[in-house]
A = this chain, B = another copy of it.
Amino acid sequence: MTLKLDKVNRGPHLSTLVASSISREIAQGRLKPGDQLPTEQALATTFGVSRNVVREAIARLRSEGRIWSQQGRGAFVVESTNPTVLTIDYEALQRADSFRNLFELRGILEVQAAALAAKRRSETDLAAMGDALAGMRAAPYGSVAWLRSDLEFHRTVAEATRNSYMGQFLVFVSERVRESILAAGNQQKSDDMARITLGEHERILTAIRAGDAEGAQAAMRDHLAGAALRVGLHDGEAAAEPASPAQEVPSPVRHSRLRKAVRGRARG
């Protein structure tokens, strides 16, 4: 009975085809950066579709940053070929130093986000944070529900900054960090930890509620330091304080042989 019947693979929309065609023209150099595209009407007739379809295709390319258009003038191929996406190599994260770096970056963002949140949070933000904390209290430490509430708390803080990019970046980084932690899968759980972690979160919320930016920063910093320990990262300083007095690394690229330094990351 289980006929394969794979997905009604309906052909892509016309606008997609048109977008691909134009994209190909650009990729193959027939349309160079700075060049002006034919008019929408011209494209419509050459492709044999309506101007509407062409517009959807162009809207797409525009959102991808490949072309740029101005009313009354036309559409142009954008100059810079700078990457418009940022990716984090999953494998690289398995390396201890990479993980530590990402954790540090996350810390910076979280700490500053906490400060901003303390200044800009609304009542609904506070309520949402409270809810998230309640969720953590109700769930057993380390459970799925607990993790979700934890994540939710941090997400809410990010949202309270009223800066969408802050939220976007923070969620992105946090997700990568969390994945990596789960993949390593070495967490010891205890009731003490639940209590401690919860306490850290409560301090954060208290400071944010009070509008105390410095306090929120400090509380978040402490929280992350604690989290670092719980994850097996020594030196809570990852989030803030630097440590070594700038050891010299004279030559530029010198990361050879990192590999073995990694093997025993995680663990304790």
Complex contact A165–B63 (CB within 8 A)? no
Task: Tell whether A89 is near chain B: CB-to-CB under 8 Å.
Answer: yes
Complex contact B62–A172 (CB within 8 A)? no
Distance of A89 Cα from B102 Cα, bound (Å) = 23
Complex contact A211–B56 (CB within 8 A)? no
Within 8 A of B (CB), among A11-46: 13, 15-16, 19, 24, 27-28
Q: Which residues of B lie under 8 Å from residue A123 when comparing CB positions?
A: 248, 250
Most buried by B among A63, A87, A163, A167: A63
Question: A112 contacts which of B112, B125, B163, B168 (Cβ < 8 Å)?
Answer: B112
Distance of A173 Cα from B172 Cα, bound (Å) = 14
Size range of the chain A interface in the assembly: 35 or more
Distance of A173 Cα from B213 Cα, bound (Å) = 24
Complex contact A241–B84 (CB within 8 A)? no
Complex contact B10–A70 (CB within 8 A)? yes
Q: Give A74 Cβ to nearest chain B Cβ, in Å.
A: 14
Complex contact B89–A121 (CB within 8 A)? no
Complex contact A168–B86 (CB within 8 A)? yes
Complex contact B59–A15 (CB within 8 A)? yes
Q: Mark A86-97, 1 if CB is under 8 A from B, else 0.
A: 111111000000
A interface list, Cβ under 8 A from B: 10, 13, 15-16, 19, 24, 27-28, 52, 55-56, 59-60, 62-65, 68, 70-71, 80, 82-91, 98, 101-102, 104-105, 108-109, 112, 115-116, 119-125, 159-160, 162-169, 172-173, 175, 179, 183, 211, 213, 241-252
